Amino acid sequence: MGRHGTIAGRKAAQDSKRAAMFTKYAKAITVAAKDGGDPEYNSGLRLAIEKAKAISMPNDNIQRAIKKGTGELGGASYEELTFEGYGAGGVAVIVDCLTDNSNRTTSFVRSTFDKHGGNLGTPGCVSYMFSRKGFIAIEKTEEIVEDDLMETALEAGAEDMNTTEDSFEVITEPQAFAEVLEAITNAGYETFEADIEYLPSMESTPGEFDIPKLRKMIDILEDNDDIQKVHTNCGVDLYAE
């Protein structure tokens, strides 16, 4: 899990992009709400809402996004796109998008890869190096007893829990993610990060001179409103001081 970096580094990155993250999560809620605006009967919407709450997205934003999806408020129609390729240093990259203009988004992603030492590939060229998993991060504090947290997670259906220097990372199958996240939050644990991600089964370590180009490419991609998430198999913390 070295690719995630430290809690402090991830907090700094999240804080600098919080407005953009709210926009991305609102899109995900809007898309999910097209199948029904009641999260009790729409598991996809319930999951999108839980992920938004995990980054402290205001409830007004959540409700507005739901209404856009159900047609109560006007809103764009979004298409899901996924791109695969390699960044500088041969690091595998997967880019998840929600866009109302696929040509615009495709052109942007391709040019961003090209300009920063990357190479956009064909579907499947890197995804075999990843597994689709639920990922829930809880910051370590003196109040948290590791065994108690693990018991809560495993009883709710979690697959595993990893311990890092400053966090606990719960891993789930995608279909169990919402239930495990709900159990963890109901038990009083505050999640720092919660999403369904591509977790690498093998990691790549870029060279010293490749890291700045890779970091720049990822930053530019993540700053774009059409891009929901950028996944990599980078084995080093790109934002370490």
Tokens of 182: 């709900």
pLDDT digits (tens, 9 = 90+) for 174-232: 999 989 988 998 999 988 888 889 999 999 999 999 999 999 999 999 999 999 999 99
Pairing of strands 167-172, 130-139: antiparallel
Residue 221 inside a domain? The answer is: no
Residue 131 inside a domain? The answer is: no
Q: Please state at what angle helix 59-70 crosses helix 18-33, rounded to 10 degrees.
A: 40
Residue 140 inside a domain? The answer is: no
Q: What is the DSSP string of 158-215?
A: --EEEE-SSEEEEEE-GGGHHHHHHHHHHTTPPEEEEEEEEEESS-B---TTTHHHHH
How many structural domains is the chain composed of? 1
Residue 94 inside a domain? The answer is: no
CATH code: domain of residue 44: 1.10.10.200
Beta-ladder partners of 131: 199
Where in the sequence is the domain holding 38, given as residue range(s)? 2-70
Residue 2 banded pLDDT, cuts 50, 70, 90: very low
Residue 56 inside a domain? The answer is: yes
Residue 59 inside a domain? The answer is: yes
Residue 220 inside a domain? The answer is: no
What pTM, to 2 d.p., does this model score?
0.83
Residue 46 inside a domain? The answer is: yes
